[in-house]
């Protein structure tokens, strides 16, 4: 019966926030079973119809196997996950254990669970760590990593619960997509996704496409274009917009480029225009050691939200080539995109989604809008006593850096451990140099391997340590306080600059004060930071208070917060717009795959060809036998289905990139135009598959040995590979168009129209 106070609590609930009191009741009821279960030699098998008993059995199993008795709040978290919500639990609250209890619960309800981990290292660590608990509950568990063989993968996917990074699952899904025999398939039907660091996967990385590419002819040489844009000057030939997100040629720049290329008209040669734009983009907007590193003769991207090297990632082909050309590196392999799926599309395949993270409330709206998910805010086991100080703001970045080093020196003297989070790799290295110059020894964490980072960050709570780290290095690793550190105030976290998202700031702060530990945090900010210059460029800045350059005015704090909100709003808008476009493609993709499955596992291909060309079907059948003929038909239709899909993807990306240009003269909104053309093209796609399949069938070489694919003109790519496109942080040409930027072309149009 709902009490009045409950009703009021429900009314006060933030929209989208879940009410956790039913879960709290279940957790309390679980306590009543505890003493009885402790006495038993063997635990009874859990029944999911009785949640308090399930929780009690899981708790007792964890106590026996892991020597950790889950706190009530951990059970509450697990129950939120079992009801398909995102549980917000602070760092150090024990999400790994909560997640495992929930995964076991889903599995005991008869569903296959994929626990999506932050990286390969954590997938394996968590699966092995939680292994004994699963075993005690009668649930099988497995994991995969980048180096798993197809056999190992198939075995892991067959378990009740499987741990893996999002990219490994995505790549498996993509590779399955071109399987030509049902025996080669690896990934079973998706059922439940339980996502660790849910905000980072579901929001920050949602737009990232996972790509399956096949060998094709190498692209254009970009070296010449790189050389050409290197000679252009900013402010004369090209301009950046206020936020430094976009670059465009001025009329003078356009003329200069056209002259340098032998008097062509850029706007009549779109391939050249694109290449110039990409080169300019690489030249003016991407900075070595901030956006990417050059290592071993290769470009390595830096993931901005994690501040570390993004392995296996690249920019979209054109931009990748442009940056390689800028750094005078040999062009890396380019290929044809056979298929691609965004992380959001990948996750939405699961009929049931749940997740956990320390920072969910700030993205509550997105989680609801894009995934229909609610956030359950789980209180900490022990109250958080970390002292978060207000930002220390400086006018100039040099003053900020000096004050930062002084602060580190002052606190280090007391022996208190300090963890400094920087915004990028080069800033980490700069700060480490500054510190060493002052005789302060520090450990620098950046862009190494996950296991190594985990081991280093685990030591960051020891007395006298100074750890400099890019923001998210060593994520998922516990920082325990060393001997005597609590007396000194616990771990002291200093942010060197605020992030474009307050969630990332909160994640950094969260490294201190875990499980009721003492701790402190503060951010050092300068009004020259990119965040301010890009997102609050028109604010009048208050002056410094004294010769240290510190700005104490309240307004300074307001400007920093304002810039951050603008940045967050910009990213949300980009996410929303991208989804409007990718959604159509994801729907079409799902439909095509459904057809493909009928061909791959069933007889749809043979049936269609037999119906279309009955005479040839009969003749061939008499010659080679029904089974051989059916297999040949399968291969013919699969080939054309895959080929046409690849072409469709290329076509769709062309209209998406080009639509804003054409949109200028049209009455339809770009998104509507995109949909109209996309739907029409898709209709043709299915007809085209049929047409080409019949055509091949009429002339194909089919003998008792089967279909001769080469002879029949059905050559699949010689090699395929997978990668993650790190979304261009500045948005594609298309994103820029969405932000209604004035391009030289529209300027020209206007002047012509005037």
Binding site for ligand ADP (CB under 6 A): 68-71, 74, 89, 91-97, 478
The CA distance from 245 to 531, in Å, is: 12
Nearest approach, Cβ of 103 to ligand ADP (angstroms)?
13
Residue 225 in marked binding region:
no
What is the spatial distance between Cα 442 and Cα 465, in angstroms, rounded to a whole number?
7
Q: What share of the chain is helix, strand, coil (3-state, %, to 5)?
A: 50, 15, 35
Q: Please give the structure tokens belonging to residue 250.
A: 């001025």
CB closer to ligand ADP out of 174 and 198: 198
CB of 91 to ligand ADP, least distance (A): 4
Does 478 carry a binding-site annotation? yes
H/E segment holding residue 507: helix 502-509
Is 28 or 243 the residue whose CB approaches ligand ADP more closely?
28
For ligand ADP, the closer CB: 94 or 520:
94
Q: Is 316 helix (H, G, I), strand (E, B) or coil?
A: coil
In whole angstroms, the minimum distance from the beta carbon of 153 to ligand ADP comes to 26
Nearer to ligand ADP by Cβ, of 312 and 458: the residue is 458
Separation of CA 184 from chain center: 27
Is 374 annotated in a binding site? The answer is no
The nearest distance, CB 157 to ligand ADP, in angstroms, is 24
**Do residues 59 and 30 touch, judged by C-beta distance below 8 A?**
yes
Query: With respect to ligand ADP, which residue has the nearer C-beta, 378 or 714?
Result: 378
Considering the complex, state which of residue 119 and residue 582 has its C-beta at the smaller distance from ligand ADP: 119
Which conformational region is residue 555 in: left (phi greater than 0), alpha (psi within -120 to 50 degrees), or beta? alpha
Burial of 745 (0-12, 13-18, 19+ CB in 10 A): middle
- Rama region for 319: left / alpha / beta (φ>0; ψ in -120 to 50; rest): alpha
**Residue 495 CB, nearest approach to ligand ADP (Å):** 19
E strand map for 461-611: 466-470, 491-496, 519-526
Residue 715: count other Cβ atoms within 10 Å of its Cβ: 10
Contact 335, 216 (CB under 8 A): yes
The two counts, helices (H) then strands (E), for the chain are 28, 25
What the block records as the tokens of 124 is: 């394996």
CB-CB neighbours of 654 under 10 Å: 11
Q: What whole-number distance in Å separates Cα of residue 292 and Cα of residue 468?
A: 19
Cβ–Cβ < 8 Å for 112, 192: yes
Contact by Cβ (8 Å): 520, 492: yes
Bridge pairing between strands 161-165 and 113-117: parallel
Beta strands in 403-488 (DSSP E): 418-422, 443-445, 466-470
Q: E strands, 52-175, where?
A: 86-88, 113-117, 141-143, 161-165
Cβ distance to ligand ADP smaller for residue 89 or 341: 89
Closest to ligand ADP by CB, 91 vs 359, is 91
Neighbours of 405 (CB within 10 A): 16
By C-beta, is 68 or 352 nearer to ligand ADP? Answer: 68
Between CA 322 and CA 276 the distance in angstroms is: 9
Residue 72 · residue 27 · CB < 8 Å: yes
Smallest gap from residue 510 Cβ to ligand ADP (A): 8
In the complex with ligand ADP, which residue's Cβ is closer, 103 or 322?
A: 103
Q: Is 520 annotated as a binding residue?
A: no
Whether residue 157 contacts residue 115, with contact meaning beta carbons closer than 8 Å, is answered with: no
Q: Answer for the pair 25, 2: CB distance below 8 angstroms, yes or no.
A: no
Residue nearest to ligand ADP (CB): 94
Q: How far apart are the first and last CA of the chain?
A: 70
State in angstroms the smallest separation of the CB of 511 from ligand ADP: 9
Query: Would the annotation count 74 as a binding residue?
Result: yes
Pick the closer one to ligand ADP by CB: 375 or 725. 375
Cβ-based nearer residue to ligand ADP, 84 or 92: 92
Least separation in angstroms between residue 89's CB and ligand ADP is 6
How far apart CA 189 and CA 44 sit, in angstroms, is: 30
Which of 79, 84, 93 is CA-nearest to residue 384?
93
CB of 500 to ligand ADP, least distance (A): 23
List of long-range contacts for 617-625, beta carbons under 8 Å, 24+ apart: 620/702, 623/704, 624/702, 624/703, 624/704, 624/706, 625/704
Could you tell me if 339 and 321 are in contact, meaning their C-beta atoms sit under 8 angstroms apart? no
Q: Are the CB atoms for 500 and 521 separated by under 8 Å?
A: no
Query: To 10 degrees, the CA torsion angle through 459, 460, 462, 464?
Result: 130
Task: Between 67 and 183, name the residue whose CB sits nearer to ligand ADP.
Answer: 67
Cβ proximity to ligand ADP: between 26 and 89 the closer is 89
Phi-psi region of 92 (alpha: psi -120 to 50; beta: other; left: phi over 0): left
Whether 413 has a binding-site annotation, put simply, is: no
Closest approach of Cβ 356 to ligand ADP, in Å? 8
**Minimum distance from residue 50 beta carbon to ligand ADP (Å):** 22
Q: Is 94 annotated as a binding residue?
A: yes
Identify which of residues 227 and 388 has a Cβ nearer to ligand ADP in the complex. 388
Question: Using CA of residue 529, residue 530, residue 534, residue 535, what is the dihedral sign?
Answer: negative
Helix axes 670-699, 554-601, angle to 10 degrees: 20
Annotated binding site for ATP: 74, 92-96, 478
Annotated binding site: 74, 92-96, 478
């Amino acid at each position: 019966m709902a009490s009045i106070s409950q009703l009021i609590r429900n009314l006060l609930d933030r929209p989208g926030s879940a009410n956790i009191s039913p879960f709290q009741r279940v957790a309390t009821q679980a306590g009543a079973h505890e003493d009885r279960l402790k006495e038993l030699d063997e635990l009874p098998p859990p029944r999911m119809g009785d949640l308090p008993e399930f929780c009690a059995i899981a708790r007792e199993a964890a106590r026996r196997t892991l020597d950790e008795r889950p706190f009530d709040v951990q059970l509450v978290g697990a129950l939120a996950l079992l009801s398909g919500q995102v549980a917000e639990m602070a760092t150090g609250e024990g999400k790994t254990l909560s997640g495992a209890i929930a995964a076991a619960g889903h599995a005991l309800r008869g569903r296959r669970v994929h626990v999506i981990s932050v990286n390969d290292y954590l997938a394996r660590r968590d699966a092995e760590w939680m292994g004994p608990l699963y075993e005690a509950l009668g649930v099988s568990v497995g994991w995969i990593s980048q180096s798993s063989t197809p056999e190992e993968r198939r075995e892991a996917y067959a378990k009740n619960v499987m741990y893996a990074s999002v990219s490994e699952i995505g790549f498996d899904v993509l590779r399955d997509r071109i399987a030509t025999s049902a025996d080669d398939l690896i990934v079973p039907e998706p059922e439940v996704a339980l996502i660790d660091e849910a905000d980072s996967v579901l929001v920050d990385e949602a737009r990232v496409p996972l790509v399956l590419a096949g060998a094709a002819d190498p692209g254009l040489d970009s070296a010449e274009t790189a050389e050409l844009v290197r000679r252009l000057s900013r402010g004369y030939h090209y301009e950046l917009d206020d936020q430094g997100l976009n670059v465009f040629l001025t009329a003078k720049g356009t003329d200069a480029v056209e002259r340098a290329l032998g008097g062509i008209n850029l706007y009549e040669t779109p391939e050249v225009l694109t290449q110039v734009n990409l080169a300019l983009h690489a030249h003016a907007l991407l900075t070595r050691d901030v956006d990417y590193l050059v290592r071993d003769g290769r470009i390595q991207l830096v993931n901005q939200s994690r501040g570390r090297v993004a392995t296996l990632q690249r920019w979209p082909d054109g931009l990748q080539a442009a940056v390689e050309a800028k750094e005078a590196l040999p062009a890396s392999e380019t290929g044809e995109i056979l298929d691609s799926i965004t992380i959001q599309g990948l996750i939405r395949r699961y009929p049931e989604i749940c997740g956990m993270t320390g920072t969910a409330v700030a993205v509550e709206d997105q989680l609801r809008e894009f995934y229909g998910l609610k956030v359950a805010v789980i209180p900490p086991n022990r109250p958080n006593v970390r002292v978060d100080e207000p930002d220390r703001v400086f006018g100039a970045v040099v003053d900020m850096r000096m004050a930062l080093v002084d602060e580190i020196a002052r606190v280090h003297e007391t022996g208190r451990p300090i963890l400094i989070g920087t915004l990028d790799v080069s800033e980490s290295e700069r700060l480490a140099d500054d510190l060493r110059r002052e005789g302060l020894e520090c450990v620098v964490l950046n862009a190494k391997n996950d296991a190594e980072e985990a081991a280093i960050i685990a030591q960051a709570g020891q007395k006298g340590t100074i750890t400099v780290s890019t923001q998210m290095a060593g994520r998922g690793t516990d920082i325990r306080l060393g001997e005597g550190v609590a007396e000194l105030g616990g771990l002291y976290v200093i942010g060197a600059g605020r992030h474009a998202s307050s969630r990332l700031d909160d994640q950094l702060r969260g490294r201190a004060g875990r499980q009721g530990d003492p701790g402190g945090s503060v951010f050092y900010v300068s009004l020259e930071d990119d965040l301010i210059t890009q997102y609050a460029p028109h604010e009048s800045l208050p002056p410094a208070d004294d010769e240290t350059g510190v700005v104490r005015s309240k307004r300074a704090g307001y400007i920093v917060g304002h810039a951050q909100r603008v940045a967050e709003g910009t990213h949300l808008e980009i996410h929303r717009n991208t989804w409007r476009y990718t959604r159509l493609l994801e729907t079409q993709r799902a439909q095509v795959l459904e057809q493909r499955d009928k061909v791959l596992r069933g007889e749809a291909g043979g049936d269609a060809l037999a119906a279309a060309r009955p005479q040839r079907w009969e003749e061939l059948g008499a010659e080679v036998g029904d089974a051989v003929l059916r297999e040949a038909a399968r291969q013919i239709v699969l080939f054309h289905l895959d080929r046409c899909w690849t072409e469709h993807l290329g076509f769709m990306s062309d209209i998406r990139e080009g639509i804003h240009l054409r949109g200028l003269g049209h009455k339809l909104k770009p998104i509507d135009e995109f949909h109209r053309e996309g739907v029409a093209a898709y209709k043709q796609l299915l007809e085209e598959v049929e047409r080409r399949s019949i055509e091949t069938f009429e002339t194909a070489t089919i003998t008792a040995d089967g279909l001769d694919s080469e002879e029949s003109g059905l050559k699949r790519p010689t090699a395929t590979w997978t990668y993650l496109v790190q979304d261009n942080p500045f948005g594609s040409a298309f994103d820029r168009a969405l932000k209604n930027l004035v391009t030289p072309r529209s300027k020209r149009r206007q002047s012509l129209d005037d």
